[in-house]
Amino acid sequence: MYHDKLEAFPEDFLWGAASAAYQIEGAFDADGKGPSIWDEFTKIPGKTFEGTNGDVAIDHYNRYKEDIRLMSEMGLKAYRFSVSWSRILPDGEGKVNKEGLDFYENLVDELIAYNIEPVLTLYHWDLPLALQEKYKGWESREVIQAFKQYCQVLYGRLGKKVTYWVTFNEQNVFTSMGYRWASHPPNATDTKRLFEANHIINLANAEAIKLFRKMVPKGKIGPSFGYGPVYPLSASPDDVLASENATDFNNSWWLDVYCKGKYPTFTFKQLERKGIAPTIESGDLELLKQAKPDFLGINYYHGGTVAQNKIESKSIESLNDKNFSATDPYLMQPKEEQSQSPEVPMFQSSENPYLNKTEWGWEIDPVGFRVALREVYARYDLPLFVTENGLGAKDMVTDEGTIEDDYRIDYLNQHIMEMKKAVTDGVELIGYCAWSFTDLLSWLNGYKKRYGFVYVDRTEQDEKEMRRIPKKSYHWYKELIADNGENIN
């Protein structure tokens, strides 16, 4: 879609940046905080780069005023952060930790004092360890009530100060990484457990939104989803069908529940055939239908490309080839192995020949950002809030003490340009929170993979003084915010 002139961003557009509690706060056991599942998981040998963890992170807990001052000097309109559940409820339920609650109210007050809109994420992956040990975490419906109590505490304390609330961050990511790939806690490789836990999280999301409607009637709430458009590898109808399948499995499976209160029929039937569909109890579907969000948070980094599934794409000749292994074709695997790879009959992933990649192998696809915003807005007709988008890179400090991250500026410039085109296309956008404001612990990748506008001077093994140094991109984004994206090109 070509436009000879692009529309301006709304005057009240929220230009922001984002973070997550475990990745920045540190102070892992300070002032009554309880441990989270990440406090334990990062201590498992080999799980993170050079054994890094968030015990200290970038010490935002003690330096939040300095960080917010830098946000203000940048002109930031919004700051998305997450609350550490175990800092509020050390056991995940029961007694409230006053010091933890005070910290977040002080953080919110500081943001408001600088006219920065706080965007509060309730859950960004750090489940209290006590709930994992007591109930087996998200695999138990007991945790729904614990989450509801946690939400009630925060709504009651901050509901009059915070307008925008995010329930769950990237549910598709933390469930898959935690229950299927064992690269996040709870360190499992079982798709049945994945889909069972995912359903319980959906119920918790619905309960949180229902409670929000009662306690924060003037606020706005919605989940934040890691969305990627899916392209067919070729114009072959078989590849196009594969992309339809992949979109349903990778995106609609989560978003339909959030926005329509039901699971998409296609994927649910595939999971039923494999014996891994979630257990739906009486009243579940009614609850899901009562919790439509006010907006959708969209985290965008890249999409994917797929081709026809490898079963049907095999010719008869290849199936009869002498090198053919009887254990290779998906349909000849034991049922329990089939259930571990439910997408195999639907599609197979492929590299996109038109896209370059980051140092970490993520495809760089600015146009896909526009595609994503268009697709989600058309399907669900809800305002969108870009809650993450950014580039991880190995930033270096020059001899002059500067960080010349032109590659990040180029990446963000291209993506924001496509976002502006999406606005011109008709997509309703609330704001854009780049990932991230400061450098932070990149979960599994330590401090070498940097995303921030502000450099934090520390390494995996040396905390140094953690001096904050604005990068070249900091000053670029400051100018962009000042003119509301008018001069983006």
- Which helix (H) or strand (E) segment holds residue 257: the answer is helix 253-260
Other Cβ atoms less than 10 A from the Cβ of 162: the count is 22
Q: 307 forms bridges with which residues in the sheet?
A: 348
Q: Using CA of residue 7, residue 365, residue 164, residue 472, what is the dihedral sign? A: negative
| Class of residue 450 by CB neighbours under 10 A (exposed 0-12, middle 13-18, buried 19+) | buried
Selected catalytic residue, list 388, 418, 428, 465: 388
Helix spans in 136-277 (H): 142-158, 171-179, 191-215, 237-247, 253-260, 265-274
Q: Which of 138, 260, 149 is nearest to 215 (CA)?
A: 149
Task: Dig out the tokens for 448 from the structure.
Answer: 């070498």
Task: Dig out the tokens for 23 from the structure.
Answer: 């990745």
- Which helix (H) or strand (E) segment holds residue 429: the answer is strand 429-435
d(CA 158, CA 165): 10
Enter the DSSP assignment of 290: T
Per the CB < 8 A criterion, the answer to whether 258 and 333 are in contact is no
388 carries an active-site annotation = yes
Amino acid at site 245:
N
Per the CB < 8 A criterion, the answer to whether 61 and 107 are in contact is no
Active site (catalytic) residues: 388
